[in-house]
């Protein structure tokens, strides 16, 4: 029994009821602190927006009201406002809305596609080289045949000349 009593006393169960009730003044102080923080944040945001508008005005020919409108239209992105003024189109990131897994597989696909393109190009080059080799061989064979034909014609003409001489000798 003593073991159960010791474990119960060593880890007391927290009570759901707070031990002290916050005073009304404490709640008022907390509200005042929140209001001060909110006012401070508003002041900082206004200061930053004024700086952004000033920057836009120095980079463009916009006046203050036009710069404010353009800044609100571009979701407070100063670079978009200036880029639109200069006519620069924003770059579209093709990997912007992809998960890591999708990015990995798109890179793998790009590598595989480039490898297959290279393989097809190598096969086409090999075919062209074979065609060129065959064409040069055919050209050489045609030249050799032409030379043989010329030699045969010369031989035939010389034989004809000999035959003519022999015939003349027989006639004479």
Task: Give yes or no for residue 32 having a pLDDT over 80.
Answer: yes
DSSP 36-91: HHHHHHHHHHHHHHHHHHHHHHHHSS--HHHHHHHHHHTTT-HHHHHHHHHTPPPP
User: Which residue, 37, 32, 80, 35, is CA-closest to 60?
Assistant: 80
Say how many CA atoms lie within 13 Å of 150 toward its Cβ.
6
Give the burial string for 46-81 (b: 16+ CB within 10 Å, else e).
Answer: eeeeeebbeebeeebebeeeebbebbeebeeebebb
- pTM assigned to the model: 0.41
SS3 74: coil
Mean pLDDT, the chain, as a whole number?
Answer: 82
Question: What number of other Cβ atoms are within 10 A of residue 130's Cβ?
Answer: 10
Widest pairwise Cα distance in the chain: 159
Question: What number of other Cβ atoms are within 10 A of residue 106's Cβ?
Answer: 13
Counting other chains too, the contacts that 70-79 makes at CB distance below 8 Å and 24 or more residues apart are 76/49, 76/52, 78/52
Position 5 scores a pLDDT of: 46
Of 95-104, 134-143, 158-167, which gets the smallest average pLDDT? 158-167
Tell me which of 157 and 123 has the higher pLDDT: 123
In angstroms, the CA 70 to CA 80 distance is: 9
Using pLDDT thresholds of 50, 70 and 90, give the confidence band for residue 19: low
Q: Which two tokens stand for residue 2?
A: 């003593």
């Amino acid at each position: 029994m003593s073991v159960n009593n010791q474990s119960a006393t060593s880890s007391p169960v927290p009570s759901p009821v707070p031990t002290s009730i916050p005073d009304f003044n404490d709640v008022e102080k907390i509200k005042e602190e929140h209001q001060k923080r909110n006012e401070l944040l508003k002041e900082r945001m206004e200061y930053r927006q004024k700086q952004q508008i000033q920057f836009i005005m120095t980079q463009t020919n916009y006046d203050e009201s036009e710069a404010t409108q353009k800044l609100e239209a571009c979701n407070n992105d100063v670079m978009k406002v200036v880029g639109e003024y200069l006519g620069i189109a924003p770059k579209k990131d093709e990997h912007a809305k992809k998960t890591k897994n999708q990015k990995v597989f798109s890179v793998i696909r790009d590598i595989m596609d480039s490898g297959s393109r290279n393989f097809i190009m190598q096969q086409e080059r090999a075919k062209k080289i074979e065609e060129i080799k065959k064409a040069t061989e055919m050209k050489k064979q045609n030249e050799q045949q032409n030379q043989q034909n010329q030699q045969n014609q010369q031989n035939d003409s010389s034989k004809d000349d000999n035959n003519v001489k022999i015939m003349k000798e027989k006639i004479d």
